[in-house]
Chain A
Amino acid sequence: MAEEQKTKPCRFWIWALTSVFFRLILISFKGNLNLSSRPEVSTPLTSIRRLAEGYWLKQASMSPYAGSMYHGSPLLLSVLGPLTVQRIKGQPSHLLCSLVFVIADILSAMLLRGIGQKLQMAYGLNARLLGFLKSSRDKVILPCGDIAALVYLWNPFTIVSCVGLSTSPIENLAVILALYGAVTRRVPLAAFGLVMATHLSLYPATLAIPIIILLGYGLDAPPIKLFLQTRSVENEKSSTSTVSKQAKSKQTTRLPFLWKTVVHFLFWVLLWSLYVLVLCALSLNKYGGLEEMFKRTYGFILSIEDLSPNIGVFWYFFAEVFDFFRNFFLIVFHVNILFMLLPLAIRLKHRPCFLAFIYLAISSILKSYPSVGDSALYLSLWALFVNELVDMKFSFFLFCGYLGISLLSPVMHNLWIWRGTGNANFYFGNAIGYACFQIVFVVESVSAMLNHDRALKRSNSNHGKSQELSH
């Protein structure tokens, strides 16, 4: 076993390095394999060509948002803009940008591994506390960190969005940074990640809830009731587990909420957001300032001005809605995400990492301009929970569904746009199928997690009964 454990890290690094080499090989192909023109990869928010256009406009002393091409952050423009212009002789264009995205992917994978290792430790600890494991070797706990990192690196969606030069790797990095900071209790890092992720694309703002829960209550754990059941059983055994001591002393059914950390976190969020806003105001001083930035970035995301086809479901609908009803339907579509936040938070507050994953999955289904880069993120976060989601139903069906949709999507797009033998319904049918598979995925993973908790509860009570009987 020790040898296996030693070779496992080696195998992880081998696989990780292989994926990096694979990306570097793909980058060296001319024209990025035309992936940057695929609507599934580059949306109006993440396209590198629009970023290059925004940078050119800025260099020509015009507002980068002029002409409604670029809709991202001005800070991203300052960082990535010069890289889009520099050309190394003999190499494909945008090589430096591709290298930046590869580095972003590597960093995300490493951070995911860190999150996974923490989660794995917490899982083992909780299992031992609940009395399932006599030692850490009894039941094989899967190394969810390694698995999640490898899933992220080898997911075809991630590779495609990295090689296809969309800015999704950077957005994903910001989100994973926020989660890593929250999991390892590094408050400034978590605040920075959250602020950057919200600044780059609006939807990670929903992650504020799971991050606050993470900082306040701690990592994912089975519901507190199970611990209390164990405590009542072990009361008679008078064990010295720390949780039962805490529970005895407190005599309440509530976990302590660490207000100090949360206030600290909010302070840092405020600090970083002020800093980012001041920087944006500085760089857009002559071109309309912050108001212009908010109108063109967040306003663009919320008002869905661009109706070019993508892998989401909004463009088709808003192409045919009457102007009179447009605002109403915009509100409906955006509230669709918002109204799910609170019930999920109530139900899954004992598992904040999983809650973050569900929020990310929902926002990547229902966001204005989805792309495969968003799916890459939540699929790898899903892999963090392999220990709990072992018994997920329909996994093969979903795998085949995702595979089929991603293969059919370019075909339908080609039929519609290039050959003219299909029409928008072909492509939109594909997008609807993709949304359905994603929804089934989300629903099944939540139900698998809740079933896992119920199974724990049942086995815990059985365990308790058996202990009582033995007494």
Chain B
Amino acid sequence: MKILMLVMLLCYSFASSSGDTTIHTNNWAVLVCTSRFWFNYRHMANTLSLYRTVKRLGIPDERIILMLADDMACNARNEYPAQVFNNENHKLNLYGDNVEVDYRGYEVTVENFLRVLTGRHENAVPRSKRLLSDEGSHILLYMTGHGGDEFLKFQDAEELQSHDLADAVKQMKEKRRFKELMIMVDTCQAATLFNQLQSPGVLAIGSSLKGENSYSHHLDSDIGVSVVDRFTYYTLAFFERLNIYDNASLNSLFRSYDPKLLMSTAYYRTDLYQPHLVEVPVTNFFGSVMETIHTNSAYKAFSSKTSNSKINSEMPLNQLSEDDELQKANIPNDELKTEKQKCPYTQMRVDLQEKLEKLENVDTVVNLSIAVMFIVVMVSSSLL
């Protein structure tokens, strides 16, 4: 009983700390690389680096939607076939094993992107390609490619505009597809892309302001193209120091961007996001660290927990205490009933039950009775 109260309290505090009354249940990541062709190698390397980071910190493939043009690793121009690097020291092969791309090649379109966000797919789309988030999900949306003033170029053929994105996010909020959404954009004039956002619970950071370009970090002379962008490079520099147990805050991430090194201003907007950035750990979005609540009871507790724990988010705490009182009052209720009936048999049974409940050494009684049983058997069989 006490444990249940504690669980309720914890959930309530959790709910109240994030502004609405649902609890954070899972983390999703949607990583989009909107460019194709060989000279946009760095955009794919950006996305794959973030994919690796997010997987390393705990989000499984089932909850990552990776949209890539995926034409770098096996490109005829790639000197290192089936390998994608984000640094000229070639230490890390991002395209090693265990890379699961959900949308590749010409499937990376604005239409598919918006369908992923809003969840409005055709019937035949498999589950691995759907964003199956719910109202307790934290979603990380990372986009990289070529962008401009209030638009983002998709595969050199079409564009995603800022009001399209804001509309999709508004639909997501209405359909309760996320609890908190973090948008991270690494393109030129990235901050303009989320100008039109108005839904609460959204945190957005872009690599550059309006009128600024986002630059690549360095050129790999072996591969022949730039392999990583500055914003993503410094993001990764921050994350490579972390493991799944660290609780660095988002504030420290955002403070780590130096405009001089980025050659642009990393701008973030928090007006739609209620919690303080100092209190929010990065693993809320970039990893998958779950809060576990330890209880002592094992099997039986589950049956009672499922019956009581339909956590109705609107139920205030004083109602909970009333439930407890009702349950405690059940035992005196039985006594009331027997008094009303005044039947000696039920009275005897109730007395017997109370005596049994008081009796602590039931086991010794049972063992003694078994021994008595054997003795009676032997005696009676020898006599009769």
CB contacts between A and B, total, < 8 Å: 51
> Which residues on the B side are within 8 Å of A63 (C-beta)?
299-300
Size of the chain A interface, CB-CB below 8 angstroms: 20
Per-residue B-contact encoding for A185-203, CB less than 8 Å = 1, 0 else? 0111100100000000000
Known: A62-B300, A282-B356. A189 touches B370 (CB 8 A): no
**Interface assignment of B369: CB less than 8 Å from any CB of chain A:** yes
Chain A nearest CB, measured from B357 CB (Å): 8
A75 engages B366 (CB within 8 Å)? yes
> Which residues on the A side are within 8 Å of B384 (C-beta)?
186-188
**Interface assignment of B298: CB less than 8 Å from any CB of chain A:** yes
Per-residue B-contact encoding for A108-150, CB less than 8 Å = 1, 0 else? 0000000000000000000000000000000000000000000
> Which residues on the A side are within 8 Å of B365 (C-beta)?
282
Interface segment out of the listed B221-229, B334-342, B373-381: B373-381
> Which residues on the B side are within 8 Å of A75 (C-beta)?
366, 370
Per-residue B-contact encoding for A150-187, CB less than 8 Å = 1, 0 else? 00000000000000000000000000000001000011
**Interface assignment of B367: CB less than 8 Å from any CB of chain A:** yes
Interface of B is mostly: helix
> Which residues on the B side are within 8 Å of A186 (C-beta)?
381, 384
> Which residues on the B side are within 8 Å of A275 (C-beta)?
369, 373
B299 engages A188 (CB within 8 Å)? no
Chain B nearest CB, measured from A385 CB (Å): 25
Q: How far is the CA of A81 from the CA of B17 in the complex (A)?
A: 49
| Complex: chain B residue closest to A75, CB-CB | B370
B377 engages A279 (CB within 8 Å)? no
Q: How far is the CA of A275 from the CA of B369 in the complex (A)?
A: 9
> Which residues on the B side are within 8 Å of A78 (C-beta)?
363, 366-367, 370
**Interface assignment of B311: CB less than 8 Å from any CB of chain A:** no
> Which residues on the B side are within 8 Å of A74 (C-beta)?
366
Tell me which residues from 348 to 383 in chain B have a Cβ below 8 Å from any Cβ of chain A: 356-357, 362-363, 365-367, 369-370, 373, 376-377, 380-381
> Which residues on the A side are within 8 Å of B300 (C-beta)?
62-63, 66
A192 engages B363 (CB within 8 Å)? no
B299 engages A283 (CB within 8 Å)? no
Chain B nearest CB, measured from A286 CB (Å): 8
Chain A nearest CB, measured from B69 CB (Å): 42
| Complex: chain B residue closest to A279, CB-CB | B369
A192 engages B377 (CB within 8 Å)? yes
Tell me which residues from 284 to 315 in chain B have a Cβ below 8 Å from any Cβ of chain A: 298-300
- Which residues of chain B have a CB within 8 Å of any CB of chain A? 298-300, 356-357, 362-363, 365-367, 369-370, 373, 376-377, 380-381, 384
Q: Could you list some 30 contacts between A and B, CB below 8 A?
A: A62-B298, A62-B299, A62-B300, A66-B298, A66-B299, A66-B300, A74-B366, A75-B366, A75-B370, A78-B363, A78-B366, A78-B370, A79-B367, A181-B381, A187-B384, A188-B376, A188-B381, A188-B384, A192-B377, A192-B381, A275-B373, A279-B366, A279-B373, A282-B356, A282-B366, A283-B362, A283-B363, A285-B357, A285-B362, A286-B357
6 smallest beta-carbon distances between A and B, as pairs: A189-B381, A188-B380, A66-B299, A186-B381, A283-B366, A192-B377
